[in-house]
Structure 1
Amino acid sequence: MERSLTRHFPCRLVPEDPFDASKAESIYLAAEELSKINPLVNVHRGEDHARLKAEYFQAFPVKLQRRAKFIEGSGGPFTLGSAPHYGDIFLYHIISNVKLVAPDALNSEPSFWGEFLLAVEGLEGIKDYLDRRPKPIDIGVKPMLKPNICGSRVVK
């Protein structure tokens, strides 16, 4: 449902070419395989967090290397070249969460990951959104958002 709604946004996050649209879907699904980072940011605590983080990052380099092929062959900065799509936005979300949990996780990776992140952050409306959105804090200890918005963790 979310992906089909992207057709209605003015920046055309779904490629018009059917072949490119299929690639965008593949990229989205490939990024989804890395989405176990989300509960590491938002849910898990203490020893559970440490164990799951170690498991995640043991497999992460190989999985990231597979996703790198999307950008390497595209001419960048996005996975299909110069135009972003919804798969790029989701991949950005995953990679930015990786950096929250393990800030050095991309240090040994090719520089195009940094270029990819900067390119997404430079999209119209994205920087404003990123500046305004609540920030995850106390990851792995007592995860919550700051400012604490309705529906996030209860502060005691």
Structure 2
Amino acid sequence: MAVIDKHPQYIAAQKSWEIMRDAVAGEEQIKQAQTKYLAKSAGMIEAEKQGDTTGEIYKAYLSRAQYPLWVQDSLRTMIGLVSKLEPNIVIESSLLKGLIENATNDGFGLKQLFIRICLELLEYGRCGLLVDVDGAGVPYFALYDALSIINWKENSIGGR
């Protein structure tokens, strides 16, 4: 499988992930997607055939459409509950102690990384975590959402 090819599991889940991404983004994203979520009625289609060439009826429908914030609010509530948890972080190596306060490629600590991972898992059910080393030899974690990881391989090494 070439690097640019999408994994079959990615293809199977992509539509659901995109719907979730749009639902979390909220009303404006839903409206921008137009007929993907807010289909034209038979009457609107017929009106366009009869002379509504600019689609004014559909534009008015879009402007009146409302999308409740249930998904955003639910996600915010769940992350609020998760953020009250104190992850048990034990780092014995003095070389890695700095990760507690600066663990990610954008400078956040391990607790914030934990919350970000939980958010990705609640939204998409998966995410990618890459451990890398910067130019100074300091390790860090890079977090990738499910839509960013289009291809992967799985192998067992030593029974794992």
Identify the TM-score tier after normalising by the shorter chain: under 0.3
Q: Normalised by the size of structure 2, how large is the TM-score?
A: 0.25
Q: Normalised by the size of structure 1, how large is the TM-score?
A: 0.25
Kindly indicate which of the two structures has a greater share of residues assigned to strand: 2
Which structure has more relative contact order (CA 8 Å, sep 6+)? It is: 1
- Which of 1 and 2 has greater Rg? 2
Kindly indicate which of the two structures has a greater share of residues assigned to helix: 1
